Each structure stands twice: as structure tokens, then as C-alpha cells.
Amino acid sequence: EVQLVESGGGLVQPGRSLRLSCAASGFSFDDYAMHWVRQTPGKGLEWVSGISWNSGSIGYADSVKGRFTISRDNAKNSLYLQINSLRAEDTALYYCAKDKDSYGWSGTDMDVWGQGTTVTVSS
């Protein structure tokens, strides 16, 4: 069974850092680009970042560029999101998602999603 399991969320003070993780199983993780997408009641779904199968191509939403860093460890079948200088507007449910097409260089559509991990930024 193809599965993505996110972890690392929690309650964090503004200005602090957090690292989210996503453990993948049931597919050849190193063949696919991966994404982070967040969701809030107010702003809906927002794509945050994506990384190609070999980490050679990476993209970020303008809203997070310079504060968020995506990475992956294909040997551990894991995806990560380092979030620095957290702001209240980063409060959201963060999903990890798998690209639909193998060996994508700039991302395609997202065909498998995890259940998400919640990040709450508050003092």
C-alpha cells in the first residue's frame, strides 16, 4: 500500500523553527518528485514547496521563499521541510504529497497525500 506519514508538527512560538518529516512507503520513493502543501480554513489549499526525484530541482511558493527549506533522503524514503522564523500565518495543516509522474523535473499533479501534521504558531 502506498503511504505517506507526516510528523513533526506542534505548537511553536513565533520566530522559532520546526522540521517536518514525511515517511514514504509502498512505492519507489526515489523515482518521484515530492511536495508539501498546507491548508488553513481561511486560505484553503496552498502549495508550499516541491523537490524533484534527485533533489536537482526545487521550488518554493513566494510566501515561504527564504524561510522554508525542502529536502529529501532517498536512502531513508523520507521528505523534510525545515521551517524557520515561524509566523502566525504559517499556522496550518501540512500535507506531504507524491508526484503522479516518475522522474518529474518541475512537478506534475499530486496523486497520493498523507493525512497531514498540524503546525500552530502562537505565543
Partner 1 sequence: EIVLTQSPATLSLSPGERATLSCRASQNVYNYLAWYQQKPGQAPRLLIYVASNRATGIPARFSGSGSGTDFTLTISSLEPEDFAVYYCQQRSNWRYTFGQGTKLEIK
Interface with partner 1, residue 67, by CB under 8 A: no
Contact letters for partner 1, residues 25-44 (x by CB under 8 A): ----------x--------x
Q: How many CA atoms lie within 13 A of 17 on its CB side?
A: 8
Q: Minimum distance between the CB of residue 14 and partner 1, rounded to whole angstroms? A: 25
C-alpha 60: how far from chain center: 10
Using CA atoms, how far apart are residues 47 and 59, in angstroms rounded to an integer? 10
Binds partner 1 (CB under 8 A): choice among 29, 32, 53, 60? 60
- Residues of span 91-110 touching partner 1 by CB under 8 A: 95, 100, 106-110
Secondary structure of residue 31 in the 3-state scheme: helix
Secondary structure of residue 87 in the 3-state scheme: coil
Using CA atoms, how far apart are residues 31 and 22, in angstroms rounded to an integer? 16
Single out the segment in contact with partner 1 by CB under 8 A; choices: 7-15, 16-24, 56-64, 77-85.
Answer: 56-64
Binds partner 1 (CB under 8 A): choice among 12, 116, 117, 119? 116
